[in-house]
Structure 1
Amino acid sequence: MFREIASNEIFTILLVIALAIIAIAKLTAPKRFEDFIFVIGNSKYLKIYSKDQKFLDKFDALLFTNLIISASIFAYIIYQFQFQIKSISINTLFKFAIGIGAFILVKVLLERLIGSLFELDKILDQYIFQKISYKNYLGILLLPINAIMLYSFNLTLTLIYIMITILLIVNIIGLITSFKTHQSLIKQHFFYFILYLCALEIAPYVILYKVFII
């Protein structure tokens, strides 16, 4: 069992690690990173790099690691605020990281399985790449958000709602971009699209919310 600590030292260490991971990603592929930073409102990155995507991609893996770290910190900050917890349990923080990572990976693998079953591998691979790209972008966006919530302001419910709203807007932009890219296919199979949307885009987050509240 990990010990509990009463300061933000562990958060500072994790933020520095996350920054180092992003720096490594930039050094690994500087041109790709430059295109990635402008992925919101610009489909250039998605069009270029979706063609060369691999199942195990070093660049995406680094950004995904940052996403797990940053999302875990964000979730734990809200958890602390919700239950008025002063000390920091590394054990609980670790569980958040494992839970978030497992949730995203299982969801992606399930979507790939569905793509194989219905022979939609190419289309779903592009769609999944787009979603992962936007999630990784959220991971970078979470770094300054976490820093603000930890060090700059007295944390309030209003501030939490503002930060969550910003993240939701970015996520919705990502979904809309993905849907616009495949709108002709969606129109042809609208029923299956609604079924997919409810089963794999809405239901998992509702379940996750219920689990978190419990």
Structure 2
Amino acid sequence: MLRHIISNEIFTILLVISLVIVAIAKLTAPKRFDDFILVLGNDKYLKIYSRDQKFFDKFDALLFVNLVISVSVFCFITYKQINETNIISSNTMFKLTFSIGIFILIKVLIERLIGSLFEIDKLIDQYIFKKISFKNYLGILLLPVNALLLYSFKPTLLLIYGIISLLLIINIIGLISSFKTHQSLIKHNLFYFILYLCALEIAPYIILYKVFISN
């Protein structure tokens, strides 16, 4: 079966969709969005909105959709650079986007289930909120990064690895911030929390890395 070449046109559409989604999030909750943009250097957002978190939050849902789209586009750029190819089936692109979204959602649901089983719901819920907030922040950062890599700069492996390193550092900052905030709760539930980290924060990404390398 012939493969289709994905042109930048499809990515222009995806970037526009992401911009519209982010704009809707800002319009529906302007004050919250302004606080969210400063989350990396100020924990005001995390302190205020973690109290009112819901199982389904429209603001977080909008930013989550942007996250999935932005990560999918960046993964394709990385894949294209590593394999030195511009050819990928549109079906593969759709599966990639869908898989990333489902992976994150299932992971969050399992985390909440484990929190209930170990009776550390409060700790896990607040931890998940902070983690999702930082991931959504990465989705915002990836918007201009993807645009620059697609239309301005010629991506190189060194540049891509540098961007991945920066994203990991930001994610680690988010984790450390969460650990500091809840260190007393974590100390009282240290064994369960270590099990949680090994099972749901380390193992899934090791498996994904192995799958990516094997392909």
TM-score, scaled to structure 2: 0.95
In the alignment, what sits opposite 1:40? 40
1:161 counterpart letter in structure 2: Y
Q: 1:141 and 1:62 mapped to 2: Cα distance?
A: 15
What residue is the counterpart of 1:157 in the other structure? 157
Residues in 2 aligned to 1:112 and 1:144: alpha-carbon distance in whole angstroms = 32
Q: 2:103: which partner in 1?
A: 103
Does structure 1 residue 197 correspond to structure 2 residue 197?
A: yes
What is the SS of the residue equivalent to 2:85?
coil
How far off its partner does 1:6 sit? Answer: 4.6
Shift of 1:3: 6.5
Paired AA for residue 146 in structure 2 = N
Q: Relative to structure 1, is the Cα distance of residues 102 and 125 closer, same or farther in structure 2, using a 3 angstrom cutoff?
A: same
Aligned twin of 2:126: 126
* Structure 1 unpaired stretches of 5+: none
Q: Deviations along 1:23-54, whole A, 9 cap, x unmatched? A: 00000100000000000121110111111111
2:212 aligned partner, one-letter code: F
Question: Is contact 1:3-1:91 (8 Å) kept?
Answer: no
Any conservation in 2 of the 1:130–1:174 contact (CA below 8 Å)? yes
Asked if the contact 1:7–1:88 (Cα under 8 Å) also holds between the matched residues in 2, the reply is: no
Return the alpha-carbon distance in structure 1 between the equivalents of residues 132 and 14 of structure 2: 22
List aligned pairs for 1:76-115, cutoff 5 A.
76-115=76-115
Does the C-alpha gap of structure 1 residues 119 and 65 become closer, same or farther in structure 2, counting only changes over 3 Å? same
SS in 2 for 1:173: helix
Aligned residue pair count: 214
- 3-state SS of 1:5 partner: coil
Contact 1:2–1:90 (Cα < 8 Å) also in 2:
no
How far 1:124 moved relative to its partner? 1.1
Task: Classify 1:107/1:86 alpha carbon distance in 2 versus 1 (closer, same or farther; 3 Å).
Answer: same
- Secondary structure of the equivalent of 2:203? helix
Q: Which moved more, 1:21-30 or 1:154-163?
A: 154-163
CA distance in 2: counterparts of 1:23 and 1:4, whole angstroms: 31
Q: Which letter maps to 2:208?
A: L
SS of equivalent residue, structure 1 residue 55: coil
Deviation at 1:57, TM superposition (A): 0.9
State the one-letter code of the partner of 1:208: L
CA RMSD of aligned residues (A): 1.6
Identify unmatched segments of 5+ residues in structure 2.
Answer: none
Separation in structure 1 between the aligned mates of residue 125 and residue 189 of structure 2, nearest angstrom: 18
Partner of 1:147: 147
Q: Is the 8 A contact 2:118 2:192 kept in 1?
A: no
Structure 1 residue ranges (4+ consecutive) displaced by more than 6 angstroms after TM superposition: none
Are 1:4 and 2:4 matched, yes or no?
A: yes
Supply the distance in 1 between the matched residues of 2:117 and 2:196 (Cα, whole angstroms): 14
2-side partners of 1:94 and 1:41: how far apart?
35
1:15 aligns with 2:25: no
Given the two structures, how large is their TM-score scaled by the length of structure 1? 0.95
Q: Which amino acid aligns with 2:147?
A: A
Looking at structure 1, the residues matched to 141 and 44 of structure 2 have their Cα atoms a distance apart, in angstroms, of 20
Partners in 1 of 2:89 and 2:172 — Cα distance?
32
